[in-house]
């Protein structure tokens, strides 16, 4: 017992001795994964409280949130803010408040346009007026919270953000469930609003903080910087939405809400890997931006490739365990959605590969290349969905997205040498990972009924991973600085 306590103590000392950048990166990744993944962890509750149609309506609302956010918040909390706080680090407070007010002005303008069109031209939103108002109400406060989180990540401060994230992770599903029981006639609205209450309160708190720090001082040069930086990327943002979310809306229009619900449960399974990559990328972004600014781009491959390889393996494992995960998440009425999981997971992997390259394009302000690749993939996805969904249902939606992501990656790969001057990442490793994921996405739906064969493949994969563990452990602490 004494030796065990001493061993624990030694491990705690080693952890406390880690560089702050490493501790912050790990903390961000873990809590962000848990927060984003809460929809997966709580899915068994909500699939039993909601019908497939109601589940589909919530999914459609989430899809509209993503498309409206592009215009209402103009993605001002993403790459433009990452670059801005590095370029204007001596005036960060004023820059933040200026961009925050720009986001609010755009939110108000987009709300009035949407409200007018939806009520006086044609009703294109498949959601209630209450949810439309609530959506834009959330858009007012969300940028402030996102700005604050970005500041914390770049400064490698992680304790407060971890506490807030855990609060959201625990409180949001509890309030959503309470709302459903209090308002059983309005389950969809109760689920959506209840889950956002804590986010809104934290957003208001961050808004007040940024207003105080900015001293209500607005510099219109920062408005110009933020608007012109992101304006060329508006088509790309829309194309990203089409790739990520339009499947569910098109399923609802072309088939019905129940089909969107079945696809959504498969999407929920795939969201585990999407959330994992979002968490990893949020952790890597400050390092990538700083290295690029310091002309250390050649060091990125040794850091990123092992991480993406681990992520690819996780994707394959999720594909293999899809039947068991679906049974855990939902009752038998949702089980039909199982065969769409591999394609959606495969698409999430290829999106991560795209991000490997696009992060560097963002830093070098070569957004147009990202835009062209994204628009091509989105148009292809939309056309294929329009042609194939009426004949093959939700299965078509998954595989058209996978094909579109794959071709998008091919485009950004060939553009990278022209833009970056070197391919940065090892070509053989990227190609091998892509091949493994594509084969897995094609094979697993065929062998789902053969349980022993599936498990044998997964065991072999785990053995290979264990034997190659030294490759992944080669990422040393200084690499995250």
The per-residue pLDDT for range 190-248, each reduced to its tens digit, is 999 999 999 999 999 999 999 999 989 999 999 999 998 888 777 777 777 777 767 77
Closest residue by Cα to residue 40 from 200, 198, 276: 276
Q: CB of 289 within 8 A of CB of 82?
A: yes
Average the pLDDT over 171-192 and give the result.
93
Half-sphere exposure of 470 (CA within 13 A, CB side): 1
| Summary mean pLDDT of the chain | 82
Average the pLDDT over 307-317 and give the result.
88
Which of 8-12, 80-84, 157-161, 448-452 is least confident?
8-12
Of the pLDDT bands very low, low, confident and very high (cuts 50, 70, 90), residue 423 is low
Q: What separation in angstroms does the CA of 283 have from each of 53, 462, 469?
A: 36, 25, 22
Of the pLDDT bands very low, low, confident and very high (cuts 50, 70, 90), residue 135 is very high
Does residue 226 sit in helix, strand or coil? helix
**Most confidently modeled range among 3-12, 327-336, 434-443, 468-477:** 434-443
Average the pLDDT over 346-356 and give the result.
89
H or E element, residue 397: helix 394-420
Q: pLDDT tens across 435-462, in order?
A: 999 999 999 988 988 889 999 988 888 8
The span from the CA of 116 to the CA of 122, in Å, is: 9
The span from the CA of 215 to the CA of 200, in Å, is: 22
Q: Which long-range contacts (CB under 8 A, 24 or more apart) does 332-338 make?
A: 333/52, 334/47, 334/52, 334/261, 334/262, 334/265, 336/262, 337/262, 337/263, 337/264, 337/265, 337/266, 337/394, 338/266, 338/448
What is the reported pTM?
0.69
């Amino acid at each position: 017992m004494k030796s065990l306590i001493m061993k624990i103590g030694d491990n705690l000392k080693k952890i406390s001795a880690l560089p702050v950048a490493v501790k912050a990166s790990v903390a961000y990744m873990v809590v962000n994964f848990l927060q984003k993944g809460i929809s997966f962890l709580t899915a068994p509750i909500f699939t039993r409280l909601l019908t497939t149609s109601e589940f589909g309506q919530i999914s459609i609302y989430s899809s509209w949130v993503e498309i409206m956010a592009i215009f209402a918040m103009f993605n001002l909390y993403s790459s433009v803010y990452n670059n801005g706080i590095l370029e204007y680090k001596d005036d960060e407070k004023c820059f933040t408040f200026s961009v925050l007010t720009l986001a609010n002005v755009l939110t108000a303008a987009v709300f009035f346009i949407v409200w007018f069109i939806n009520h006086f031209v044609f009703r294109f939103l498949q959601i209630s007026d209450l949810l439309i108002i609530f959506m834009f109400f959330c858009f007012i406060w969300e940028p402030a919270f996102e700005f604050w989180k970005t500041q914390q990540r770049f400064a490698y401060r992680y304790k407060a953000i971890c506490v807030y994230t855990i609060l959201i992770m625990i409180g949001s599903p509890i309030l959503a469930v309470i709302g459903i029981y209090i308002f059983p006639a309005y389950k969809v609205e109760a689920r959506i609003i209840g889950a956002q209450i804590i986010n809104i309160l934290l957003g208001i708190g961050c808004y007040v903080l940024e207003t105080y720090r900015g001293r209500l001082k607005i510099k219109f040069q920062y408005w110009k910087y933020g608007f012109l930086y992101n304006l060329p990327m508006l088509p790309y943002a829309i194309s990203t939405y089409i790739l990520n979310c339009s499947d569910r809306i098109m399923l609802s229009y072309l088939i019905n809400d129940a089909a969107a619900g079945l696809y959504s449960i498969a999407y929920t399974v795939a969201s585990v890997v999407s959330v994992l990559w979002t968490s990893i990328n949020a952790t890597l972004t400050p390092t990538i931006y700083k290295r690029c600014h310091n002309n250390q781009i050649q060091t990125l491959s040794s850091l990123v490739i092992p991480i993406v390889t681990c992520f690819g393996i996780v994707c394959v494992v999720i594909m293999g365990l899809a039947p068991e995960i679906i049974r855990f998440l939902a009752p038998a009425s949702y089980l039909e959605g199982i065969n769409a999981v591999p394609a959606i997971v495969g698409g999430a992997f290829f999106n991560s590969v795209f991000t490997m390259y696009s992060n560097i394009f963002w830093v070098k302000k070569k957004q147009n290349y990202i835009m062209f690749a994204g628009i091509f993939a989105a148009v292809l996805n939309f056309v294929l969905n329009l042609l194939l969904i009426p004949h093959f249902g939700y299965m078509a939606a998954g595989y058209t997205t996978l094909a579109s992501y794959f071709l998008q990656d091919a485009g950004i790969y060939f553009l990278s040498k022209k833009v970056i001057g070197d391919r940065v990442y090892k070509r053989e490793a990227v190609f091998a990972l892509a091949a493994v994921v594509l084969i897995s996405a094609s094979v697993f739906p065929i062998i789902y009924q053969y349980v022993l064969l599936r498990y044998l493949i997964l065991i072999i994969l785990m053995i290979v991973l264990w034997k190659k563990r030294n490759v992944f452990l080669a990422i040393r602490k200084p690499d995250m600085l």
